[in-house]
Each structure stands twice: as C-alpha cells, then as structure tokens.
Amino acid sequence: MAGFKYEAEELSLEIGDKKYPFREPSHIEQSSLKAKFESASPENAFNIYIDFFVGLGLPKEPLDKMSVRGLIGLFEYAVGAKKN
C-alpha cells in the first residue's frame, strides 16, 4: 500500500509573452498574511500583497506594474479561491 504523496503545485503568472513561475503558498504563509492584513493600514495593504508574491518567487518588477484588480485576482489564484 502506497502512502500519501504531496507535491506542491507550481503556479505561473503570464504577462504578455512572459511567464513567471512561482510556488503555491503554505498554510503558514497564508495565516501569516491574514495577520499582516488585520494589522495593516489601508495604504500599506498592496505592499503586503507584493511582499507575499515576491516571497513565493515572483520578481517585483512585473508586480509593480499590475493593477489592484490584477493583484487581487492573482492572490485568489495563488490561494486556490479562483480557478484558471
């Protein structure tokens, strides 16, 4: 009988013809993010998103060019709330 085998899913962000791979967040990273949002000022909220994605392996440059709607959509995709 084989045991449970977990393999983290590799995710990707596509902007134009460029594809940026990144890893899925762990439950610890998601819990930590929730705590950061609860204590953050509204002005700092999107910097928290950027830092979260950089920590998952995305470069900061394309993230800085994304809209608020794009960052929220990427977050939903990364945590599994939205399927692509």
Note if the pTM is more than 0.85: no
22-35: pLDDT as tens digits: 999 998 998 898 88
Q: How far is CA 25 from CA 16, 72, 80, in A?
A: 24, 15, 10
pLDDT category at 83 given cuts 50, 70, 90 is low
